[in-house]
């Protein structure tokens, strides 16, 4: 019998509409060519929260379903793909999102802040699909 912390997973997945709404608003207000430092910093935090959500949920799934241990943040996404948690088409965008962790957390002083990251526009659909896939996976595995 597995112990899957569905409460913690649910808390994180419940943030998806909040992050999606913030992404949509940020994209709608973004002014290319006229960078706004506050918007650039908001974008960085939005991307950071999104990737932490994915890796936190992934870690909880890995622990709960006794999957192999992850060796890196990218490996979390790889394990989830291998275990069939989400469809194949989500793998590359989720990997790209998780790869932003090092620049956002460690290399923030040198980040380019003049343009909108392509993933920012993709976040609402990506996170929604990830959340639905996780919920379906849990329901199937615990049935």
Could you give the residue numbers annotated as active site? 101
Catalogue the long-range contacts made by 118-124 (C-beta closer than 8 Å, 24 or more residues apart): 119/47, 119/93, 120/23, 120/26, 120/27, 120/43, 120/46, 120/47, 121/23, 121/27, 122/93, 123/19, 123/20, 123/23, 123/46, 123/47, 123/50, 123/97, 124/20, 124/23, 124/24
Give dist(CA 126, CA 103) in Å, integer. 20
């Amino acid at each position: 019998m597995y112990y899957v912390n569905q409460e913690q997973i649910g808390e994180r997945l419940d943030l998806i509409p909040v992050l999606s709404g913030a992404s949509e608003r940020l994209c709608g207000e973004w002014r290319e060519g006229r960078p706004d430092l506050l918007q650039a910093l908001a974008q960085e935090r939005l991307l950071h929260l999104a990737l932490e959500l994915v890796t936190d949920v992934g870690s909880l799934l890995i622990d709960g379903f006794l999957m192999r241990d992850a060796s890196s943040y990218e490996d979390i996404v790889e394990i989830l793909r291998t275990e069939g948690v989400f469809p194949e088409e989500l793998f590359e965008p989720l990997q790209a999102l998780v790869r932003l962790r090092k620049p956002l957390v460690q290399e923030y002083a040198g980040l380019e802040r003049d343009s909108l990251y392509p993933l920012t526009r993709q976040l609402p659909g990506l996170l929604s699909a990830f959340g639905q896939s996780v919920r379906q996976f849990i329901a199937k595995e615990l049935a």
